[in-house]
Amino acid sequence: MNTTVTIDLQRASQLLKLLGDPTRLTMLKLLKSHECCVCEFVEIFKMSQPAISQHLRKLRDIKLVKEERRGQWIFFSINENHENYPFIQSILEHLPEQNESIAELEEQGLRVCCQ
Amino acid sequence: MNTTVTIDLQRASQLLKLLGDPTRLTMLKLLKSHECCVCEFVEIFKMSQPAISQHLRKLRDIKLVKEERRGQWIFFSINENHENYPFIQSILEHLPEQNESIAELEEQGLRVCCQ
DNA sequence: ACAGTTTATAATTATATGCTTATATACGCA
DNA sequence: TGCGTATATAAGCATATAATTATAAACTGT
């Protein structure tokens, strides 16, 4: 008996295409352990704010990430309830932790904390 | 102690981009259990021969598949010795078997066998 | 040597992608 | 209300991608 949950091939290729971009893949890996807001990604990737926003929109459109406004900032987090989260997770597991990026942000005092 | 083998993020996104196409992803899933030659793929995907060849070239360029000429035909197979094969395999595991495609070929007498 | 079959490659084209710049929107604070 | 900050969206543009058609190359069998 085969109990492995499989994922439709069209769907899988759609998800893989989204992950097949270094910026979005790193974003997801980061979001797996830390919430981040847009301005943090701008610092981490040294990329323009609209570019970051557009990547996040793609991830949000297929509901891989959630957003939550807190004051001025919008925090993004990974959507663990996504139908295909196990698939996504099994991919992210193979990637090295991106803690350095976050550590650097903190050193520079650029990490957004707002509780 | 963490013994998980990780894969460089740039490399991972490159591989995922390649898999992020339904034709190539299906090809790899098929090749995981059966060797196939180009003309078989042409039948399975109802796609032109050059289109198939070009997809296979991309998979071959990155060494995910091997080719072997036998007479008129060139058989493609998955390269299990690829450095990142464990990563690829962990993705393909989530996909449904594509046995129907091969079964249909056999029914139509289009399966190439040449031992 | 020649004809038929299989595959690869080159050139072209249409569409997709990812960035840029410009602008709009939403919020916090004085 | 007005200003500064954070984010989203729209438009434009350069490059990448995936198909097509045309052609070349490698092999088989006569």
The total of structural domains in chain A comes to: 1
* pLDDT above 80 for B112: no
Establish if A85 touches chain B: CB-CB under 8 angstroms: no
- Is residue A80, in this structure, part of any structural domain at all? yes
Nearest-CA distance from B72 to chain A in Å?
A: 31
In Å, what is the separation between the CA of B59 and the C1' of D26?
22
Strand order in the sheet with B65-70: B36-37, B73-78, B65-70
- Is residue B54, in this structure, part of any structural domain at all? yes
Distance separating alpha carbons of residues B77 and B30, to the nearest angstrom: 9
Which pLDDT score is estimated for B114?
A: 52
In Å, what is the separation between the CA of B49 and the C1' of C18?
30
| CB-CB contact of B58 with B24 (8 Å) | yes
- Residue B22 CB burial class (10 angstroms; 0-12, 13-18, ≥19): middle
Distance separating alpha carbons of residues B64 and B14, to the nearest angstrom: 12
* pLDDT above 70 for B21: yes
- Is residue B113, in this structure, part of any structural domain at all? no
Tell me the mean pLDDT in the region B6-20: 97
Which pLDDT score is estimated for B57?
A: 98
Tell me the mean pLDDT in the region A72-83: 97
Residues 6+ apart with CB under 8 A from B24: B18, B55, B58, B59
- Is residue A113, in this structure, part of any structural domain at all? no
Find tokens 């008129």 and name the residue: B72
Residue B111 main-chain phi, psi, to 5 deg: -75, 130
Which positions 29-58 on chain A have a beta carbon less than 7 angstroms from any atom of strand C?
Answer: 47-48, 50-51, 54-55, 58
Nearest-CA distance from A88 to chain B in Å?
A: 9
| CB-CB contact of A29 with A23 (8 Å) | no
| Residue A75, token pair as written in the block | 């925090």
Establish if B7 touches chain A: CB-CB under 8 angstroms: yes
- Is residue B3, in this structure, part of any structural domain at all? no
Range of the domain at A63: 9-107
Establish if B47 touches chain A: CB-CB under 8 angstroms: no
pLDDT digits (tens, 9 = 90+) for B46-94: 999 999 999 999 999 999 999 999 999 999 999 999 999 999 999 999 9
Bigger pLDDT: A64 or B102? Answer: A64
* pLDDT above 70 for B3: no
CA distances from residue B36 to A61, B17, B74, B77, B105 in whole angstroms, order as listed: 36, 22, 8, 7, 11
How big is chain A by its Cα radius of gyration, in Å? 15
User: How high does pLDDT run on average in chain A?
Assistant: 92
- Is residue B115, in this structure, part of any structural domain at all? no
Please give the nucleotide, over all strands, whose C1' is closest to the CA of residue A39. D6
* pLDDT above 90 for B23: yes
% of residues, chain A, pLDDT over 90: 81
- Is residue B1, in this structure, part of any structural domain at all? no
Tell me the mean pLDDT in the region A1-28: 92
Tell me the mean pLDDT in the region B85-104: 94
Which pLDDT score is estimated for A4?
A: 73
Nearest-CA distance from B73 to chain A in Å?
A: 28
Establish if B114 touches chain A: CB-CB under 8 angstroms: no
Distance separating alpha carbons of residues A71 and A37, to the nearest angstrom: 12
Question: What is the helix (H) or strand (E) element at residue A25, kind and residue range?
Answer: helix A22-33
Tell me the mean pLDDT in the region A31-56: 96
CB contact under 8 A, B95 and A4: no
* Residue B35: CATH number of its domain: 1.10.10.10
- Is residue A1, in this structure, part of any structural domain at all? no
pLDDT grade, residue A115 (50/70/90)? very low
